[in-house]
Every structure is written in structure tokens, then in C-alpha cells.
Chain A
Amino acid sequence: MTSMQAISGASRRVASRKLMVGIYWAFHTALAAMVALPLMGAAVSVLSHSRYATEIMRGFDVMWLFEALSASRNLPSPMVLPLFLLALLLAVKGGVFLNGGAVKLLVHDEIGYSPREFYEGCGRNYWRFLRLMLYSLFFYGFALAIGASITKAAGKIWGEGLEERPLVFAGYLKNAVQILLCGFVATAMDYAKVRLVADDSRQSLRAAFGSVRLAWKNKGTVMGVWLVLLLLWAAATLVYVQVANRIQAVTIGSILALIAWQQLYVLSRVWLRMTSWGAAAELDPVLRPRQMPPEETAPVLVEVAAGPPVLEAGAEAEPEAGTQQ
């Protein structure tokens, strides 16, 4: 199976479970609103009846931002950071929970979306996926450490020089390597999730290392999928930015159009995320063929008397051997 075939199959799997995409989108939107609404409530309350707002809508004035920051310093408690951290924590925990249901439905293609099946998967896989997420930090840490070592090495080689250019290019290299490695880890963890669900296993640590090994062995196919999805994301982002920059969001109509366009972009990101799992689900049986159980001997047909045994009145069951009365 090629990378494109896997993506195509994954797209089909996701497309037949649109409600699942909707749940994922709604979850992120609700948490984002948890931070955005109070923050904007505070900001907009100052501007909602100010003519300054009209000016800022025509061309954003950085002075207002600093005025607002300065004013917020006098608030009794800076609530933005705790709120943001809470949203982040809920997002990670909630994300782990929802991933369980999503991966289950994408792995078991024969099961269509239903809330019961979805949430059953969420609950069943929650702790396995949570452990997996914690184990994945080790791999991400490793990827970041390699990036940091590139920076350190570049600093040693060129840091004392009089040119910035080699360090700039070393920075590009470090970013590229780090993105590639983090992409590899993220993809391997997708395979680990699929493995846990497909095998109905609780062995998160084994799945993590096994999937990293699997992804490394089949890096062409696995990273091919990742690369195609990355390019699709980049293309979606480029299209989003180009269109968004052209929308002059000053009237209600244009503002609503921009919001709709933004949400379409967010949906596309959710879609790509699920496609990544779907592609892992497509490729997993190919890359990791299931061990078939040993063949059983063919059953011997025994003639059985038709109909139930005839019990006569007064007859008692014979006790089985070894049992005591």
C-alpha cells in the first residue's frame, strides 16, 4: 500500500464519520472560548462605546494594546494566565479522552459512528492513551535535545565568529531536524494508538517503543504519509492566509465571513489530524501483519440423537466423578 492509498483510505474513513470531526471541533472551540470570551469581554467593555474602537477597526493601533496591558496590570488578579493554563490542561486531558473514541472508530472501519460506540472507545482507551502520551514525552524530549545539540554545536563552531550567516543556516537546519523528528514521533505515536486499539492492549509502553521501531523500519511509507499531510496543511494555511488577508473585516457581514473562513480552516486541521490516524489504521495491518492463531483440528462430526433426551419421572442425575454430595 502506498502513502497516497493510505491517505485516500483514511479520508474515506473520516468522511464517513463527520460527526466525530464535529465533536473534536466543538471540544477545541469550547475550550478556546473559555479563554477568549472573558479576555475579549474585558477588552471590549472598554471599547464598546468608544470612538477609538472605530479607528482601531480601520487600522489596528498598537498604542491601544499597550494601554490595555497597562490597565490590566491594575486588575485585582491577573486571571488570564490561570485561565489559559486551565484550558490547556483540559485540552490535553480531553484530547486524550476523545482520541480514544476517534481512533477506535477509525481502526474498526466496520463500526459506523454512534455516540455509544464513540464514547465507549473514549472510556476504554483513556488510561492507555494517557500513559502513552506521558511515554511520548520521552521521545519528544529526545527530539528537542537533538535540536538543542545542533544549536550548541553550531555555537561552538561558529558562535565566536564575526558572521551571523552560518548560525542562521544552522538555525534553519535545527528547525528542520526538529520538525522532522517531532513529526516522526507524533506519527509513531499515532501507530501506537492504533496498535493499542487494534490489539485491545493495555501495553502502552510496549506500543510506544514497538511503534517507534515500526515507524523507523518503514520510514519511507510512514513519513511519506506525514509529509503529504504536512504539505496539505501548509497549502491549507497558505490559502487561508491569502483569503483572510483579503477580507476587510469592518462590517458585520465581512466579519462573519472571516469567522466562517477561520472555522473552516480549523475544521481542515481537525480533518487532517484524523486523517493521520486513519492512515495509520490503513497501514497498520499491512506493516504489522497480525499473527494468525494456530490452526485448530477440524471438528469431528458426532451423530447426535435428534431431539432432547427423554427424561423419565423419578430419574435422578448421576453425580459427576470426583464430586461429593
Chain B
Amino acid sequence: MKLPIAILLAGAICCAEPSRPVASYDIKASLDPKTHIITASEELTWLNDSPDTVSTLQFHLYMNAFRNSQSTFFRESGGQLRGDKFKGEDWGWIEIRKMQTAGGADLTKGLRFIHPDDDNAEDRTVAEIALPQPVMPGETLRLAIGFQTKLPPVFARTGFRKDFHLAGQWFPKIGVWEKAGFRFSKQGAWNCHQFHANSEFFANFGNYRVELTVPSNMVVGATGEQIAKAASAAAGTGTYTFQQDMVTDFVWTAQPGYLREERMFLADRETTQAEVAAAARLHGIPESEARLSDVKMIALVQPEHREQMDRHFHALRSAIKWFGLWYGRYPYKTITVLDPPHGAEGAGGMEYPTFITAGTMYKLPPESRTLEEVTVHEFGHQFWMQLVATNEFEESPLDEGFNTYSTAKIMDRVYGGIGQLPLKFFGVNVYSLLKLPLLRDESMNRAGYVTQPAIDDMLRQAWQYYDGSSYSLNSYMKMSVTLRTMENILGADVMARIMRSYHQRWRFNHPTARDFQAVVNQVSGKNMDWFFDQFFFGNRLLDYRVGDVTSVQRKTPIGVYEKGGKTVTVTKKQGEEQDKKNDDDKKFKKEYLCTVKVRRMGDAVAPVDIVIRFKDGSTEKRAWDGEYRWVKYTFIRGSEIDWVEVDPERKYQLDVNYANNSWQDRYQVEVSAGWTGNLLFWMQNLLLWATSLA
């Protein structure tokens, strides 16, 4: 598609109306720091924005995932997550003490636990309540809920450690009523998944107002803006009120020891006029729309990580800027980054609306950008998960994978990738000392992907992947590599328009992968269904390789020929004599019969470019549709083939083997000698250590 049309289409797509707040919460909660119990009252306002009459309600009670070892979360995770293990001493739970309608009808006794995902009768993370009167289309329901939540020790995202508290998934949260035609729904029904080891987000947008009462020595951070603070000297408590509209969740933290710092992201200072103009030009939008807005950045950092404060802010600034310029301005006024303390690392690397948790360590070397990567990635979830609120349970790659793709682009652009791994001995940066190779995000994503490229379909329900590793690989790396491949096929500018169009079209909404596919086809002007069928919805393996390559000098033809109306016979001996003469004749121009075979080793079919270079410097290019298992090209040339390369621009990052994508005549003696020498050296040293004990 020509550029202006693409821009027009992108512009047309970006103007869809945002959805309305469906589930809004007004919560008053107080924390007992000794028992780690939160006692709260919640007023839920739920809008039935469907044409259906709804007679039941379903709620997430996710803290019950930590109630016992028989919950679905525990069965799936084995009581550990990302290396952090549950010690089995202190459990978490949530109890609804009271639930009544605005009319005063008590619903508490009608509450029953359901298990829509796995029939696990022991799981209490989803509850259903039958309403005395159904909620009619367009009607608003108000419920008053009294509840208590006991936080578990932190090992999986949420909980406490000593006086550190992170309350995520802590309140009764209503499920999503999906009317017919909404996402995959064929008829109106609740979408309310149990709490699983590998997924937790899918909710309607709503307005939140939360009052938190905690001991007065605690520093508090939460989703949204703090609009009020009151202290009670008698009770020794402080009450903080936070408010945020149009978000899908609410999280908060309290700990006495935080270093709290606020800095402003000033849009006009952080972005240049040229950058804004370039974004506007690329996306065909007015500069006023491309311009970003100011954001208050808040960091809550552990005292022993004091020197990392600047790094968090720098990462946040970079993320706000580039996510904003690429996909649309960050619409909220605040972003808070929390640095969990030692022992609460399980709470790190998490995303909640306007609130993220970091991942770092004591004296992290500045050359290691893992801190920045976590902060940028978690901020990215504000765009992929929060603003474009896909269903993480059913299509986790749409948030983790899209975000991994975006994170890699920012990290590689701003920091040159992750850089070094934090490898230290007595505080000395060994990685730097040994000059080990610097790591780029894009490379790391593909490195992860090639380990198990086709173990599962990329898009599956999060708890139905082969194992945790397959979940991670498909949700994060494979989607990132798939999007990068698509970018290489369509071009960077077209891909940038696709991503922004998709984001803008579905901001404050709940798309599926099919919706993304529609945007891709529309904005690119190409039918990319072949790509989606094989790589998004299937698990085809892509592997092209150079097969046999030969360059054979042509000999004098022998046998019986018709020449000038006469029959001429060239004997084998005559032929050999002629060949010898030709070899001795320096003016004789040799000819070679050159053949190249390229093979498709995987089951994925994709058009691919092939370049054949001859030793005289000439080049042949071929485009192969990849339909059959192999293709053969034959040339008669004055020189031999120097090298052959399939997919020379390396468009297909999905290709599982780059090494076999090319062939060259020259043997790479440097690789053999250099690498063997290096390995020999390391083995010698290892054995010397072993024999020094002998």
C-alpha cells in the first residue's frame, strides 16, 4: 500500500471511542502490621453495559490462592514462583464478611465458590452469587462488601515481609461480563478465571478511590494520585486517599523504610520538537496529538539501593518518552516504581495500573542494565495489559510478548541492550574484567526462542502450556521474535503505524489476536493471514538452509553432435585433449556449471530471498516462495560460486538456525583455530584446578 493511504487508514483507526468505566470501587481499608490483615469495606458500582439480563455475579477472590496447598495456583506452581519458594508457615486468604445490595438485601450467604477452569473443588479464588433481582441492560448495580484479607509472606507477587507490605489482588474484584460478540463470546457470560501460576489480569476499566489507614511511620505508595492525607496521633495511624479513573486494578504498598522521591517527566524537556514532528509525520497525525504530557514519577527505593534512584528515574523517563511517541501519550498523571526489599524479590518485576515493581540487587554494576530493563518492561505493561487490556489468561503473549518486543526496542535504542550480566566476585565486576560479550535484548529474546521454538501453539490459555518454561518462552520471547519478523517483512515504518493504530484503536478496550490481525492487514494493505495462521495461531517451525552448492568446470562436450548439417563425433580422448589445451591456454575463458540448492527444513512456508555471489564479484538474487521442500538454481558462469545466503537481510528472526542460512567456499580457519584455542585454554585451567587438589 502506498504511504499516504496507509497513513490515512492508520488515522482512521485511531479514533475509536474509549469504553466507559464498568466496574468502579470505593474502598476503605486499614492494615494491621502485626497480623498482616487488611480489614476493609468496599462499595462496588457495576454497570451492565450489555444487552443481557444478568442474574448472577462472579468475583475474583485471588488471595485465596494462598489459602492452602490445594489451590489451583499451588497445584500449578508447586508453591514456588520464579525461584521464590513458599515456606509453608503463614498462609494468605480473603474472607467476605458481608455483601449486600443498595436495597439492603444480604447476599453473603448465597456466596459459593466455582471453578470454571479446572474443576478443582479446593480452589476458592472465584465466587458466584445469585442476585435476588437481575441487573437489566444499562442498569447500574451497587454492592457494599465487607471483607478481610490476610497477606501471605511474599514469594509470588504479593504479600508481606516483616514490615514491608505489597497488597496486590487483595480485594473482591468483579469478573468481566462478556456479551455475545465481545472477544470470543458467543452468548453473554462471565469471564472470571481462577488464579493461576502464570496469569492474573483481565478486568473491566473502572474508577477507583481507596482510603488506606496504616501505621503513621509507614511510607505509602499506590495506584493513582494521592489526593488526601490525614494523621491520627491518638491511633498512631495515617490515612492516605488515592484516586484513579479508568484503570483495571488497584495495588498499594506500605513500609517504614522507603526512600521516597518524586520527579517530573516534563514532556517539552524530555522530547525535542523534531522528535514530536517525526512521530506526527510517521503516523499522519497532528503534532498536538503526538505531543506527550507531563507525568509525576514517584520512586520508593530501599535505603541500601540509594545510589540506584537515578537509574530508576532515567529508565522511567526513557519508557514514558518512547512508549508515548510510538503508541500514544501516557494518559495518567503518575507512575510509581517500587523497589522491594531483600527477601521480597518475589514481589519484584510486577505491573499494576500506574504502579510497577522493580528488580535489582545490592551494588548492581552500572554496566548491567537489568534494573533498567525491568523498569522499562513493567512500565510497558501500562500500554500492553493496562491500556490495551487483553486477557492475560487466554492470550498472554498479547501483553507479555507485545511488551517484550517494545521493551527490546527501547533497551537496544537507549542503553544498547541489557549489557552485562551482574557477575561479581568480592564486588569485582568479573563480566567486565573478562570482557564477555555485551547482550542485546533482541538477541536474548531470539536466543530464548530457539531453545524450544515449537513446543506449543503460541497462543494458548496460560495454564495449558506444556510447562512453565513453554509459557515464558511463548508469552515473552516468541511473540517478540514474531513481531520483529513481521516488522522486517513489512518495514519499520509500516510496523510502527500498525502498532500505534492497534494501540489507539483498542486503548481502554479488550482486543484479541484476531483484532490485531485485522489492524495489520488494514494498515499494511497486505494480506498477512499466511503469517498469522502459521506463527500466531499455529506453531510452524521456520528453518531454511543452503543445501548442496557446486561449481563444476565445463568440459569439452563428447559424443555425437549435429554441426552444420554433418554428424560429428567427439571421442572421450579428443575431449580430454581439448580440455588440456584449454587449460594451457591462458586466454581461454573457463566456464562453470554452478548449482545451488536451498532447502526448507521446517514446516513453515514463507517467501524468502536468496543471494548468490560469484568469485568474479557478480551477484544473482532470487525470490523463492518456499512452497516445495527445496529449490534448485543453475547458472553457467565464468567463475565459481563464492557464497550463497538465504534471507540475507535476516528478516526471519523466526528462523531457528542462522548458521545454516549461508554457505561460503572459503573454510573459516579462524573460527576453528580461535575457538578451539579458547576452549582448550579454559579446559586446561579447569583441569589445573582439579589436579591442584590431587
Contact = CB atoms under 8 A, between A and B. Distances in A.
B162 A52 contact: no
25 contacts: A29-B680, A31-B687, A32-B686, A37-B676, A46-B660, A62-B444, A63-B443, A64-B658, A66-B450, A66-B451, A67-B658, A67-B659, A70-B453, A88-B687, A91-B687, A95-B691, A95-B694, A136-B693, A159-B343, A245-B434, A262-B677, A262-B678, A262-B680, A266-B685, A270-B688
Interface string B316-343: 0000000000000000000000000111
The secondary-structure label for the interface of chain A is helix
B448 interface: yes
A140 B684 contact: no
B606 interface: no
B589 to A, nearest CB: 27
Contacts of B660: 46, 50
Contact of B690 (A29, A88, A273): A88
Interface in B360-409: 361-363
A252 B662 contact: no
B677 A162 contact: no
Contacts of A265: 681
A48 B667 CA distance: 6
B164 interface: yes
Nearest to A276: B692
Nearest to A261: B681
B684 A252 contact: no
Contacts of A63: 443, 446-447, 450, 658
Nearest to A137: B693
Contacts of A48: 667-668, 671-672
Given A50-B660, A67-B450, A87-B687, A168 B673 contact: no
A255 B680 CA distance: 13
B362 A67 contact: no
B293 to A, nearest CB: 36
B451 A255 contact: no
Contacts of A50: 659-664, 668
Contacts of A160: 162, 343
Interface stretch (A53-61, A213-221, A281-289): A53-61
Contacts of B448: 66
A241 B645 contact: no
Contact of B679 (A36, A56, A172): A36
Interface of A: 28-29, 31-33, 35-37, 39-40, 43-44, 46-54, 56-57, 59-71, 87-88, 91-92, 94-96, 99, 129, 133, 136, 140, 159-165, 167-168, 172, 175-176, 186, 241, 245, 249-252, 255-256, 258-259, 262-263, 265-266, 269-270, 273
Contacts of B684: 28-29, 32, 266
A33 B681 CA distance: 9
In this complex, the interface size class of chain B, counting residues with CB under 8 Å from chain A, is: 35 or more
Nearest to A51: B662
B687 A28 contact: yes
A44 B680 contact: no
B669 interface: yes
Q: Which one of B643, B666, B678 has the highest number of Cβ atoms from chain A below 10 Å of its Cβ?
A: B678
A269 B688 contact: yes
Contacts of A241: 433-434
A71 B667 CA distance: 21
A162 B341 contact: yes
A266 B685 CA distance: 7
Nearest to B437: A60
Nearest to A46: B659
B427 interface: yes
B588 interface: no
Q: Which one of B304, B344, B687 has the highest number of Cβ atoms from chain A below 10 Å of its Cβ?
A: B687
Contacts of B304: 163-165
Contacts of A167: 342
Nearest to A140: B693
B690 A163 contact: no
A157 to B, nearest CB: 13
Given A40-B676, A67-B656, A52 B302 contact: no
Nearest to A238: B433
5 nearest A-B residue pairs (beta carbon): A95-B691, A32-B683, A162-B341, A164-B342, A51-B662
Given A48-B668, A50-B664, A273-B692, A161 B343 contact: yes
Given A162-B164, A241-B433, A256-B673, A28 B659 contact: no
A250 B670 contact: yes
A255 B670 contact: yes
Contacts of A91: 687, 690-691
Nearest to A32: B683
B573 interface: no
B690 A95 contact: yes
B617 interface: no
Given A50-B664, A87-B683, A266-B685, 20 more contacts: A28-B691, A35-B683, A37-B676, A39-B679, A40-B672, A44-B672, A47-B671, A48-B668, A49-B665, A50-B663, A51-B662, A62-B447, A63-B446, A70-B452, A140-B693, A160-B343, A161-B162, A186-B693, A258-B677, A269-B688
